[in-house]
């Protein structure tokens, strides 16, 4: 049996349950899923400011898992960072040799297989520019546009869920008509449970980053592929960290 950890970097336990349930539905028999979130940080991640604080919480979860007593006998084979901002992914790759995948990167890689042009629909306008930066980083700028539905991330839970779905669908339809998108990428982990419904209603592929990242990490874990430590993702050098970060000091 292999284990993969799906970590929601914010403190929304509803989102954590949602992404964990989706991961458990799609993994192969024999793959165990750990669905976790930090004990400190923002309730949701909506822009650069939230992302900075959520990154530390994410790393704290990975540090704890890597140091757990059972890690040597039954190691975590890979990590999914369940945030479409790919919060803390590069730092996490320095912290563990297990492969780490964020939702945006996974969704873009998968969308490019089934469509020559696609659109990310994210909840809030504040997230558009950060996601455009990620699209550029992953080399998909010529294929992908980023649009906002104009709702809050947490609207996809509770009494506002129907309204949020309607706004998302409307924006996706605009992307298909005006941006000539051939597929839609859902730009938030909290949308994972509506991907199939939206795909049926739109009639084009709808890529959910949670599902994409989980399956990619599961494949990497099963193949025994690890994160290279030969360059940028080498373990951090030993040094002192101070104040509230003292417990995060790298040991080298």
Confidence (pTM):
0.94
pLDDT of residue 54: 96
CA of residue 198 relative to chain centroid, distance: 19
SS3 at position 171: helix
- Rounded CA-CA distance 42/45 in Å is 7
Side-chain half-sphere of 63: how many Cα atoms within 13 Å? 16
Intervals of the chain under pLDDT 70: 1, 252
Q: Which tokens hold the place of 63? A: 């540090």
Q: Which residues pair with 207 in a beta bridge?
A: 185
How many other C-beta atoms can be found within 10 angstroms of the C-beta atom of residue 224? 8
pLDDT of residue 199: 98
Those residues whose C-beta lies under 8 Å from the C-beta of residue 173, and which sit 6 or more positions away, are 202
- Rounded CA-CA distance 190/210 in Å is 9
Q: From residue 166, how far is each of 47, 171, 181, 197 by CA, in Å?
A: 23, 9, 19, 12
Q: How many residues are given for the chain? A: 252
- Rounded CA-CA distance 57/91 in Å is 12
Closest CA to 248 of 6, 29, 57, 105: 57
**Backbone φ and ψ of 142, nearest 5°:** -75, -10
pLDDT of residue 1: 61
pLDDT of residue 252: 63
**Backbone φ and ψ of 79, nearest 5°:** -125, 135
pLDDT of residue 145: 98
pLDDT of residue 247: 83
Q: Which residue has the tokens 């991907």?
A: 195
pLDDT of residue 213: 98
Q: How big is the CA angle at 156 (ends 152 and 180), to the nearest 5 degrees? A: 80
Alpha helices in 122-235 (DSSP H): 128-137, 161-178, 195-202, 209-223
- Rounded CA-CA distance 225/19 in Å is 24
């Amino acid at each position: 049996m292999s284990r993969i950890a799906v970590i929601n970097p914010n403190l929304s336990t509803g989102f954590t349950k949602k992404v964990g349930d989706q991961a458990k539905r799609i993994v192969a028999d024999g793959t165990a899923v750990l669905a976790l979130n930090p004990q400190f940080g923002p309730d949701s991640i909506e822009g650069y400011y939230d992302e900075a604080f959520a990154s530390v919480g994410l790393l704290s979860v990975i540090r704890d898992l890597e140091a757990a007593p059972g890690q040597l006998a039954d190691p975590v084979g890979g990590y999914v960072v369940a945030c479409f901002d790919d919060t803390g992914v590069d730092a996490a790759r320095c912290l563990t040799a297990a492969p780490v995948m964020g939702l945006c990167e996974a969704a873009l890689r998968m969308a490019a297989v089934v469509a020559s042009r696609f659109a990310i629909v994210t909840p809030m306008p504040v997230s558009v520019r950060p996601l455009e930066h990620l699209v550029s980083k992953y080399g998909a700028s010529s294929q992908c546009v980023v649009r906002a539905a104009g709702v809050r991330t947490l609207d996809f839970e509770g009494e506002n869920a129907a309204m949020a779905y309607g706004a998302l669908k409307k924006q996706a339809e605009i992307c298909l008509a005006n941006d000539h998108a051939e597929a839609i990428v859902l730009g938030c982990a909290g949308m994972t449970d509506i991907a199939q419904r939206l795909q049926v209603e739109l009639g084009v592929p709808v890529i959910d980053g949670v599902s994409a990242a989980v399956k990619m990490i599961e494949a990497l874990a099963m193949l025994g592929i690890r994160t290279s430590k030969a360059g940028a993702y080498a373990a951090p050098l030993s040094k002192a960290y101070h104040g509230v970060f003292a417990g995060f000091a790298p040991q080298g």
